[in-house]
Chains A and B, each alone.
Chain A
Amino acid sequence: MYRSTFLCCTFIFIFFIHSNQGVEIPEKFQKSNHTNNWAVLVDTSRFWFNYRHVANVLSIYRSVKRLGIPDSQIILMISDDMACNPRNPRPATIFNNAHEQINVYGDDVEVDYRGYEVSVENFIRLLTGRVPPDTPRSKRLLTDEGSNILIYLTGHGGDGFLKFQDSEEVTSQELADALEQMWQKKRYNEIFFIIDTCQASSMYEKFYSPNILATASSLVGEDSLSHHVDSAIGVYIIDRYTYYVLEFLENVHPTSKRTMSEFLAVCPKSACLSTVGVRRDLFKRDPDKVPITDFFGSVRPVIITTEPINIIDIPKRKKTNTNKSATPEKHEYMPQFPMHLLQTTK
């Protein structure tokens, strides 16, 4: 009797838990334990008629910078120099709106990869950290296991690929493998992956590494469309998805309490004309509880101390001069494999 009561109680308890949206993720795991933020912003397409892609990526750049990620932790890849295109009636500027209020190509834009440097090889090398040894710091993604990375891609895509420049493309499988390498090499804590292309969701479908939250401007079979034309410049000036993302981000401040789930719903189908795709099965946290600043802002660890620190008294480092006496190990080649002993078959 006693036993049955206990069982009954257990069942009720389990039932109770189940009715409350599954197993509750413990509070401790809801908080990100990342220590730094990075952003990789890529425009993969060149040519004057793709002005809007450059405007997209520069707008996102402007937002993440405003929210606190420093230039040193933003890798900006832009395939073409729209500001200096001779067709540009507003030389040296790029706008993201027909009102032309904000020049997103202002004085403090640091483009890390430009023109033909924006290639599939460079992009994958950047992500996986396999860059040539003489690569400057500004062109390296110096992330660690505590890094939250925002990856934003825009350009022309198709089902399962994203076109780079006019000559090559990265496939969804290659991208997924690159992210897996990053995970295995402990190059990230979490990734927020945004892509604004046609059939964008095909790019994240192959992901299999943990801790990735992905969103795309359109599902497979859909086109991502441009938002409006600036008839003074004579081009489509920005894409729909990015336009609404920016509209949302403009109201976000480093102290905002906005969550990722709000971000994921910025562009309903009525506005985007394409369905925004989201993939959250690899992401262990609940987007409802994740503040947007986990990806768009930057961690600035501040330790408040009440006690004065004596900076004169610097603890002396212990000299680690081990192995001084030991002779350096001598390396030799292995003896040759005794080929002469083997019978050569005739």
Chain B
Amino acid sequence: MGLLSDPEYGSVKWVRLLNRIHGPLCLLCYAGALVWFLMLGNKEFNNETYFSENALLPGLVTNEFNAEQSSRQFYNEFLQELEDKYYDTDEMPVPWLVAKMSQLHLEVYTHNFTLNYPLGQGQIYKGTNVYGILRAPRTSSLEALVVTAPYRSISSHQKGTAAGIALMLAFAQFARPQKYWAKDIIFLVTEHEQLGMQAWLEAYHGLQSDAETFYTSLGSFWKPDTPAFDFGRVGDVFNWGGGHQKCLDPGKLKGRSGSIQAAINLEFHAPKIKYIEVKVEGLNGQLPNLDLVNLVHKLCVKSGIHHSYKNSYSWMRTRNKMDEWTNGIWTMLGMVSAQIAGVPNGNHGLFHRFGIEAVTLEGRDANDPAGIPPKVNALTTANFYRLGVALESILRSLNNLLERFHQSYFFYLLAATNRFISIGQYMPSLCLLCVAILVRALSMWVNIQQDGDEEPEKSVKRKTSDACVPGEHESEERSEEKVKTIPKGRKIEESNMSIVNIGANYLLVHLLGYVVMNSPMVFSKIGATYYNQPSEVSVFYGLIVASVFLIFLTPLMPRLLRTGRMTHEELSLVNILLLIELATVCLSVGMHNFPLGLVIAVLYTPLALVVGVETTGGGKRRVITIFLKRVLCLLLHPLCIVTVGMVTYSRVLFPEENLLSMAGRGRDAAMQAIMFSIVDSLIYGNWLYNVATAVILPIWIIFWQILCIRIDDTV
């Protein structure tokens, strides 16, 4: 504070300079951040991928996979079994899988889990996973690799995974007699998509629902008193029935292996595919180590399989720099959009939370719903042999690992299958956005301090001149100048900024956010009891009601909390605190999940730059400006962003529909999205919903308060 509270510093050069240029500077930072981000797509600004881990020895070994015949057989038998016995049910053919795995001389176990659906009328879902362990012949079972495939029934709307399961079984058959495995291999078929995976992983790591501490034979990696994450307990508070447990009961595993080093998830619907999409994004935007991603891409090349990542296709290598750049940008944007929601785009994504590196290999046809890449019809189709060879070489390479993946990057963006951007290269764009916010905060702070130095007459002069020419072209600038010059008269009599009042308001707003975070349980209960609505509808409308309530209530809050008038300094201080909080939130969220942090910063920085303490009076133009600012603020309400985003998205997906049905579809999608994010947060520990309600919403409320309160400057 020494420098900043120096009474003479109003005359210091940099302060004057800051006053003059902070507006353009902030704009420049904002534009610079966006430009920086787009430049990262260019080849000159990103790097070629490389292996950091020596132990992998990728692709040195000759492939011996010879089980394509039995893969075909498994595939046909599996489909036959499904059609015969499981045509009209969602159940998994557990007996068949157990029988097949037993025949391959694996240690076979089944694993039951239960989901107590957290919202709604207490539905209970049950599921079963089947897994077989191939024990490494010459070591103790201290380490393991996982090959997994989700089970999808015939009636499922998603692509099936029969070929993936068949390939997995055939690979198990091939691998069982080999003597070079240094790690156990666990072959796992999960039910109910990610739910089964989550349950299996929690059970494997000893996270039972009844146990408070998670001590396992591996030692504890989970401190008992860690706050958050156990969202089941959060629900407890609002559960009137009592006795509510964690919603997912993972049950217990009958057989275990060692610590899992890596996992490969297979999603092949048919043996004849055109190319493989390598999916990496996990829970909360976590990524697998770059070495594993490189490994998979490299071994796909070696096995003669076409592979892709988002917009980057291995068979499309253009020489045209511009095309390359735009492809890079689209690939990055695809990755960013996949990470924002924090929802894993495959079963691999749940492994990351346990420190296990995992990717999903998804087989795609020419007419895949994900889109039709260029020149895909000219590609040769892959068959079981090639897929098996790829899987074999990946696993043999992983088998060589001596330690967990740790050498390469965990935080990166991919611009192509073979180009990456490290955290050091992409963080500056987020930092620039935060710099813009902080420069704004600094200039506000300087202005508060400066007030005392200026002579009162000058301000009066300014005021009168302003009043003379209302609606002048640069009235905006004027008003800003006025903002800083006005309160000096009062400065002497009431220099006491009531920190307590500000603090109480600040705290209360954040408490409100916390309440909103926990409200869906209540909404769902009320909706189910009184209106007989499904929980998604009741939660959606409940949140809308809550938001409207907050919009009208919160601007009054600071007045309720204090007896006197709100002073200009106080509100400025609130604004400064708010800006600092916003910058901190963006940076800290960005450290964990860069795309989410970036998007928050990109959306809220403009708002942060235009919001300032408003005073009463002023011409028509001022009123319009303030109105526009309020509209912008309302548009940036988290709920509003989701709804608008979903409407736009459905517009993109179904461009032929008329406006009304588009809005309806968007509303339904928004409902679904919000419901999913809440359920994800309760079951998987996805913190998008929590960040949005407990952090972003309070920030938004304070912005709204600042915009709605107009300081009466007529002393």
Chain A interface (Cβ < 8 Å from any Cβ of B): 47-49, 84-89, 91, 229, 231-236
A90 to chain B, nearest CB (A): 9
B window 49-87: CB within 8 A of A: 54-55, 57, 60-62
Given known pairs A47-B55, A47-B402, A91-B138, the reply for A234 and B182 (CB within 8 Å) is no
Given known pairs A48-B55, A86-B138, A86-B139, the reply for A231 and B61 (CB within 8 Å) is yes
Max chain A Cβ within 10 angstroms of own Cβ: one of B61, B137, B181: B61
Query: Do B399 and A87 touch (CB < 8 A)?
Result: yes
- Chain A residues with Cβ below 8 Å from B402 are 47-49
- Chain A residues with Cβ below 8 Å from B178 are 89
CA distance A37 to B167 in the complex (A): 59
Query: Do B60 and A229 touch (CB < 8 A)?
Result: yes
Max chain B Cβ within 10 angstroms of own Cβ: one of A48, A91, A232: A48
Q: B57, B179, B180, B396: which contacts A49 (Cβ < 8 A)?
A: B57
Of chain A, the residue at the smallest CB distance from B393 is A234
CA distance A2 to B57 in the complex (A): 81
- Chain A residues with Cβ below 8 Å from B179 are 89, 91
B401 to chain A, nearest CB (A): 9
- Does B400 sit at the interface, judged by CB under 8 A? yes
- Chain A residues with Cβ below 8 Å from B60 are 229, 231, 234-236
B402 to chain A, nearest CB (A): 6
Of chain B, the residue at the smallest CB distance from A230 is B60
- Does B336 sit at the interface, judged by CB under 8 A? no
- Chain A residues with Cβ below 8 Å from B203 are none
- Chain B residues with Cβ below 8 Å from A236 are 57, 60
Q: B61, B137, B139: which contacts A234 (Cβ < 8 A)?
A: B61
Q: How large is the interface on B (under 10, 10 to 19, 20 to 34, 35 or more residues)?
A: 10 to 19
Query: Do B57 and A235 touch (CB < 8 A)?
Result: yes
- Chain B residues with Cβ below 8 Å from A235 are 57, 60
A141 to chain B, nearest CB (A): 32
CA distance A87 to B395 in the complex (A): 12
Q: A47, A86, A91, A234: which contacts B396 (Cβ < 8 A)?
A: A234
Write out, one digit per residue, whether chain B residues 129-152 have a CB within 8 A of any chain A CB (1) or not (0).
Answer: 000000011110000000000000
CA distance A180 to B445 in the complex (A): 69
- Chain A residues with Cβ below 8 Å from B181 are 86
The main secondary structure of chain B at its interface with chain A is: loop
CA distance A236 to B61 in the complex (A): 10
- Chain A residues with Cβ below 8 Å from B182 are 85-87
CA distance A232 to B180 in the complex (A): 11
Query: Do B136 and A86 touch (CB < 8 A)?
Result: yes
CA distance A234 to B138 in the complex (A): 18
Of chain B, the residue at the smallest CB distance from A231 is B62
CA distance A234 to B396 in the complex (A): 9
Q: Enumerate 8 A-B pairs (CB-CB under 8 Å) in ascending A order.
A: A47-B402, A48-B400, A48-B402, A87-B182, A91-B179, A231-B61, A231-B62, A232-B61
Query: Do B62 and A86 touch (CB < 8 A)?
Result: no
- Chain B residues with Cβ below 8 Å from A231 are 60-62
- Chain B residues with Cβ below 8 Å from A232 are 61-62
CA distance A89 to B55 in the complex (A): 16
Of chain B, the residue at the smallest CB distance from A47 is B402
- Chain B residues with Cβ below 8 Å from A47 are 55, 402
B266 to chain A, nearest CB (A): 23
Query: Do B55 and A86 touch (CB < 8 A)?
Result: no
A156 to chain B, nearest CB (A): 10
CA distance A193 to B138 in the complex (A): 38
Of chain B, the residue at the smallest CB distance from A50 is B54
Enumerate the 3 nearest inter-chain pairs by beta-carbon distance, A residue then B residue, closest first.
Answer: A234-B61, A86-B138, A86-B182
B window 384-413: CB within 8 A of A: 396, 399-400, 402
CA distance A183 to B399 in the complex (A): 47
CA distance A49 to B179 in the complex (A): 18
CA distance A91 to B138 in the complex (A): 10
Of chain A, the residue at the smallest CB distance from B63 is A231
- Chain B residues with Cβ below 8 Å from A48 are 55, 400, 402
- Chain B residues with Cβ below 8 Å from A233 are 61
B52 to chain A, nearest CB (A): 13
Query: Do A49 and B55 touch (CB < 8 A)?
Result: yes
Of chain A, the residue at the smallest CB distance from B57 is A49
- Chain A residues with Cβ below 8 Å from B180 are 86-89
CA distance A289 to B180 in the complex (A): 49
Of chain A, the residue at the smallest CB distance from B402 is A47
Of chain A, the residue at the smallest CB distance from B53 is A49
A197 to chain B, nearest CB (A): 15
A34 to chain B, nearest CB (A): 41
Query: Do A49 and B62 touch (CB < 8 A)?
Result: no
Max chain B Cβ within 10 angstroms of own Cβ: one of A49, A84, A232, A233: A49
CA distance A236 to B55 in the complex (A): 12
Of chain A, the residue at the smallest CB distance from B62 is A231
CA distance A89 to B400 in the complex (A): 12
Query: Do B54 and A49 touch (CB < 8 A)?
Result: yes
- Chain A residues with Cβ below 8 Å from B61 are 231-234
Given contact pairs A48-B400, A48-B402, A234-B57, enumerate 18 new A-B contacts (beta carbons under 8 Å). Answer: A47-B55, A47-B402, A49-B55, A49-B57, A86-B136, A86-B138, A86-B139, A86-B180, A86-B182, A87-B180, A87-B399, A88-B180, A91-B179, A229-B60, A231-B62, A234-B61, A234-B62, A234-B400
